[in-house]
Amino acid sequence: MPTINVNRKVFEKLVGKTLPENELKERISMLGTDLESVDENEIQVEIFPNRPDMLSEQGFARAFSSFIGVKTGLRNYEVKQSGEKVIIDSSVNQIRPFTVCAIVKNLKFDDEKIREIIQIQEKLHVTFCRNRKKGAIGIYPMEKIKMPIKYMAKNPNEIKFIPLEFNREMTGLQVLSQHPTGREYGHLLEGLEKFPVFIDADENVLSIPPIINSHMTGKINEETTNVFIECSGFEFHTLSICLNIIVTALADMGGEVFSMDLEYPDGKKVTPNLSPRKMEFDLAYCNKILGLDLNLNEAIKLLEKMGYGFENPNTVLIPAYRADVLHIIDPIEDIAIAFGYENFQEEIPNVSTVGHEDELEIFKRKVSQILIGLGLLEINTYHLSNNEEQNQKMGFETDDLNIEQNKEENNEEPKKSRIKVVELTNALTQDYSILRAWMLPSSLNVLSNNKTCDYPQHIFEIGNVFNHSNTTETFVKEHDSLSICLCGPDVDFTKIKQILDTLMRALDTNYETDPTNHNSFIPGRVANIIQSSDPKHNEHKQQIGFIGELSPQVLENWELNMPVACFELNISQLFKLLNNI
């Protein structure tokens, strides 16, 4: 979790109240943040990943001020029209397709405010923007830029400028190989024939996102009063929230926010949009979840303590900079925080039962301990995924609904298939638009994001997967699955099968493998894993998973440079077979 250093004097001025140190420490911890230290000059606090809007003095003070009752309710930010525009060229469509932009004027910078801007930009890059992979932020002095601005893709050898904190001109490729920031983030543009670039009306380069700004047109100093801000990346909604976080922080510094017209090839968009989102509020549901008996006025006051607004009769107004509010349960959680967890009364249930740990959980813990003993590292990933990771990157391309390829017949190529996934009705981002149907893509995503770490990387995860079902009320069936990946220079089928052999021996059970074909694996190096509750009778045998070496194409799709051997087991099914359930 990111830690921010907050100037205490700036913080208290923004909050509008000075609290005694003991009360300050208590209230900060009760807000849902982890206080590291407090002294007379600085507050060091750890911000949870779900609240990127608090990664600055301004955002943290805004939330804290509402929480202690000084400035409650929804903050309103005026957005004026600038009349300026950014032209987005179709050349970026397959590279880094989206940008959102704004102008903030009448700022008064000093060393402290510049430090604050650098901090929020860096913290958002690391957290919300996933180390610049999902988005990148650029802030530029307006007096050095001539409008309109173009966002386009160019041959890297044609891009020439002096990068930030450098003293000579470089091409795009030289920036990636010679500049420290270019070497750190160059992998984000690796393999591209063209690089994205922001250029002003005089053909001056502003930046190569997501790498670095120009030293001439992209460096803020104490003489800067007006700034141009852009966020570029792959998902418009995510970038819009990122932009809203930044411009509201600058507005709290005293700046005036102006919108810009974004001329996309398919039409015009205007950003930023600081209008609150609306969500229906159910008081009865809120009281049921929290075990309280709040009336509507009490619930509204608690919502206002967490920075929300409210429209009668039952609509919550969500600030445009809040990235964490996806469902009505999120405002309800904030009501619980505002009410105070210390104020909830403990109750002993009026039932006569004896609690015990679920047997499946005991079994899963045993499996984890076995694998940890084998030197594997346990990971934990999201249940939500996207079709690209679950299908395209794994080699599934058509609309057939089987996870496994049909075996070759008459020497014909095996039929490619697509995994049927459960889609979310109202997904807020393309990255998390479905429930995962299998675990392996989630594990490969972890390997892909850790290519710069030492090898070998041997990981495992036990988690939920979701499939369509006509036998359940929700038409969705879930079970626990185990995914194990070995990644390293000497990894092969033999090594992953040794892991499977050891696991099955430790669980005191036998199994067998049956050669098969699978889109994700090398032909001849993949098999189904067969288990039986009664090894003497074939009719009791069931397929519980698959094992193999990933194909070169799948490795390329995930940008992995090392071989990967893996297997996935249906842990719920294995547990039932072992216990004759």
| Per-residue CA distances from 382 to 165, 364, 434 (Å) | 38, 18, 11
CATH classification for the domain delimited by 3-67, as one of 3.30.56.10, 3.30.200.20, 2.30.30.60, 1.10.238.10: 3.30.56.10
Using DSSP's 3-state secondary structure scheme, residue 298 falls into helix
Q: For domain 277-342, give the fold.
A: Phenylalanyl-tRNA Synthetase; Chain B, domain 1 (3.30.56)
Q: What is the CA angle 557-559-560, rounded to 5? A: 110
pLDDT given for residue 248 in this prediction: 97
pLDDT given for residue 415 in this prediction: 46
| Per-residue CA distances from 50 to 1, 216, 305 (Å) | 10, 35, 18
pLDDT given for residue 580 in this prediction: 81
pLDDT given for residue 347 in this prediction: 82
Query: Start-end ranges of CATH 3.30.930.10 in the chain?
Result: 359-578
Tokens of residue 457, six digits = 């990387």
Taking only the tens of pLDDT, the chain with its 581 residues reads 688 999 999 999 999 999 998 999 999 989 888 888 998 899 999 998 889 999 999 999 999 999 999 999 999 999 999 999 999 999 999 999 999 999 999 999 999 999 999 999 999 999 999 999 999 999 999 999 999 999 999 999 999 999 998 989 999 999 999 999 999 999 999 889 999 999 999 999 999 999 999 999 999 999 999 999 999 999 999 999 999 999 999 999 999 999 999 999 999 999 999 999 999 999 999 999 999 999 999 999 999 999 999 998 899 999 999 999 989 999 999 999 999 998 998 888 787 788 889 999 999 999 999 999 999 999 999 999 999 999 999 998 644 334 433 333 334 444 456 788 899 888 878 888 999 999 999 999 999 999 888 999 999 999 999 998 888 888 899 999 999 999 999 999 999 999 999 999 999 998 999 999 999 999 999 999 998 655 555 556 789 999 999 999 999 999 999 999 999 999 999 999 888 87
Query: Start-end ranges of CATH 3.50.40.10 in the chain?
Result: 79-271
Where does 359-578 sit in CATH, by number?
3.30.930.10
Going by C-alpha positions, the residue among 124, 78, 65, 120 that lies closest to residue 307 is 65
**What does 424-467 look like in DSSP terms, one character per residue?**
-TT-SSSTT-EE-S-SHHHHHHHHHTTTTS-S-EEEEEEEEEEE
Task: Report the alpha-carbon distance of residue 371 to residue 458 in Å, rounded.
Answer: 10
pLDDT given for residue 469 in this prediction: 87
Q: With contact defined as beta carbons under 8 Å apart, do 14 and 252 qualify?
A: yes
pLDDT given for residue 180 in this prediction: 93
Task: Report the alpha-carbon distance of residue 263 to residue 84 in Å, rounded.
Answer: 11
pLDDT given for residue 411 in this prediction: 43
Task: Report the alpha-carbon distance of residue 435 to residue 465 in Å, rounded.
Answer: 7
Q: With contact defined as beta carbons under 8 Å apart, do 526 and 517 qualify?
A: yes
Query: Start-end ranges of CATH 3.30.56.10 in the chain?
Result: 3-67, 277-342
Where does 79-271 sit in CATH, by number?
3.50.40.10
What single letter denotes the amino acid at residue 496? I
> Given the structure tokens 């087991």, which residue do they identify?
569
pTM for this predicted structure: 0.72
Tokens of residue 512, six digits = 């067998």
Using DSSP's 3-state secondary structure scheme, residue 104 falls into strand
Residues 6+ positions from 202 with CB-CB distance below 8 Å: 146
Whether cis (ω within 30° of 0) applies to the bond prior to 441 is no
Going by C-alpha positions, the residue among 123, 140, 146 that lies closest to residue 48 is 123
